[in-house]
Amino acid sequence: MKTTRRGENMEEISINIIEKLGQLPPAKPTSYIFKVHHELRAANKELYEPVLLSIGPYYHDKRKSQLQYMEQHKLRYLNDLLKRKEEQGFVTGFYQVRECLGVLEELEDEARGYYADPVALEKNVFLEMLLLDGCFIIELFRKATWKRERETDPLLKAGWVRLSLRRDLMLLENQIPFFVLERLHSMIGDLPGPLYLIRRALRYLPVYGYLRSDVGLLERKNAVQSINNLLSPKSTFGGRRLNREKLRDIKHILDLVRKFMLVEEILEMKAESVSHPQQGQSIKKYILDLVRKFRLVKEILEILQRQRASTESTSVRIKKYKYSATELRDLGVRFNGAKKSKFYDITFENGLLDIPLIQIDDATEGRFRNLIAYEEHCVGENKYVGDYMSFMDGLVNTPKDVELLRHYGIIESFMGDDEVIATMFNNMCKHRILSSSYYAQIVDKLTKHCSKKRHVWMAMLRRNHLSSPWAILSVLAALILLILTITQTVYTVLSFYNSN
């Protein structure tokens, strides 16, 4: 009896397993929109959740409660867009909406595949969501580029609303596929074409908000001019060369922000062939062009060298850097805050650690946390943002480290005291998976530098005796006194021997 009962139980379990296997959905292709995994979220879950605007399916259930405020504005923006198209001679709003929904229906399966977690929304609800969210983003970008609209639209007039919208649009969990935006924009946008959409996104989003104000404005201007050059190529264009293929491969708005923050992600990664100056072209202009091309080649070689170095030594790659900023200073390392447009372009040569200045405000932590989460979930080898924050986390252990970095122009703070900033850096990369590092070669150089005693002695000399003009004068006076004493002693001895 026991044997028979056991056999029946095994048969029942086997049937249940086979039924579950039959219900198993097919494996998804690569996804690009994720729910942040619980370990990263545990550090500060509020930084991954929208406060005003729901985009995409993950927070769709809150559109009738906490995030209800924006739903009426989405309809208003859609109405503005449709009316403007009607006034331009297009078909009625009803036919425009029906046409857009027809196209979105064709894209439904691909759009659902972008989400790593299952989307439980029914077909009609999902398509309506894509239409409302996509048209809202398109119209928001358009209104933000027109001064008259910025000054009259309530969403753009209120400062807290404007900041909250920008914040929510850059959350990893609050995205729709960028190809959906592109298709809608091509159908009902006033300037059809994906490059126009990208250009307006750059003008609205705080892509360079972490840079010093003047550097950030210049960087955004250069990025927009680079887009303009793709739209209307000019032989005299001397700015950044963008890779058109990589711009076609934008996954969502957060991915767009990351690509433009990281110049390497969108540059045309090849040097242009050297040509002789054409007739009428000045020698000075020709030389400047050669210098620009040489610098581009140099940057590319440096990037390749760093990437190669990051895979050479496992011991260097996976260990956390052990010296804080104050300890490095005591070990003879000098600091400099560079005014570069690439925040991650850190170098260490001849005892000088050169780190670009970064502005820190209330939005910095949320922006970088979502970028790090995106890299952890999706991006392959080049996790520039996470590697940068891990490096800075290694430098910052206490408020004194923050004070030192502020003193050297590496950190510019617009938020609380140094302790708040230190806590931000220390928590930023909690539960981040450490693998290869973009800064492995720099860490190796710093470690070797700090292991040489002469650097420590020179640092102690500078800190204890050469730290101020008065200290230097005291040392010089002591040296002069020592020299005079030695001279007098030698003279006395020589006089004694001569007298004998």
Residues 263-310: tens digit of each pLDDT: 777 776 443 433 444 444 455 555 555 555 555 555 555 555 554 444
Q: Amino acid identity, residue 196?
A: Y
Identify which of 102, 77, 241, 239 has the alpha carbon closest to the alpha carbon of residue 154.
77
Is 210 contained in some domain?
yes
Is 10 contained in some domain?
no
d(CA 200, CA 172): 20
Q: Amino acid identity, residue 416?
A: G
Q: Which residue has the higher pLDDT, 293 or 105?
A: 105
d(CA 125, CA 56): 11
Q: Which of the listed residues 234, 266, 298 is the one where a domain comes to its end?
A: 266
Residue 73 domain boundaries: 38-266
Same domain, 475 and 442: no
Using H for helix, E for strand and C for coil, what is the string for 335-397? Answer: EEEECCCCCCCCEEECCEEEEECEEECCCHHHHHHHHHHHHHHCCCCCCHHHHHHHHHHHHCC
Other Cβ atoms less than 10 A from the Cβ of 386: the count is 25
Q: To 5 degrees, how large is the angle CA 333–CA 339–CA 342?
A: 95
Same domain, 213 and 114: yes
CB of 381 within 8 A of CB of 264? no
Look at the pTM and tell me if it is higher than 0.75: yes
d(CA 215, CA 235): 26
Is 211 contained in some domain?
yes
Same domain, 455 and 472: no
Same domain, 224 and 207: yes
Is 29 contained in some domain?
no
Same domain, 360 and 415: yes
CB of 50 within 8 A of CB of 168? yes
Same domain, 199 and 147: yes
Provide the CA 487 distance to its chain's centre, in angstroms: 63
**Which neighbouring-strand residues pair with 348?**
353
Identify the weakest region by mean pLDDT among 141-145, 288-292, 430-434.
Answer: 288-292
Is 32 contained in some domain?
no
What's residue 287's pLDDT?
A: 54
Same domain, 249 and 121: yes
Provide the mean pLDDT of the chain. 81
Residue 297 CA neighbour count, 13 Å, CB half: 10
Is 393 contained in some domain?
yes
Confidence of residue 260 (pLDDT cuts 50, 70, 90): very high
d(CA 311, CA 315): 10
Same domain, 454 and 473: no
Same domain, 455 and 485: no
- Total domains in the chain come to 3
Same domain, 454 and 475: no
Q: To 5 degrees, how large is the angle CA 117–CA 254–CA 109?
A: 40
Same domain, 350 and 251: no
Q: Contacts for 246-250 with beta carbons within 8 Å, 24 or more apart?
A: 247/194, 247/195, 247/198, 248/194, 250/178, 250/198
What pLDDT, in 10s, does the model give residues 177-236? 999 999 999 998 788 789 999 999 999 999 998 888 888 888 899 899 889 888 887 766
Phi, psi of 227 (to 5 degrees): -65, -45
Is 285 contained in some domain?
no
Is the four-CA dihedral 454, 459, 461, 462 of positive or negative sign? positive
Is 261 contained in some domain?
yes
Same domain, 103 and 181: yes
Identify which of 114, 120, 146 has the alpha carbon closest to the alpha carbon of residue 61.
120
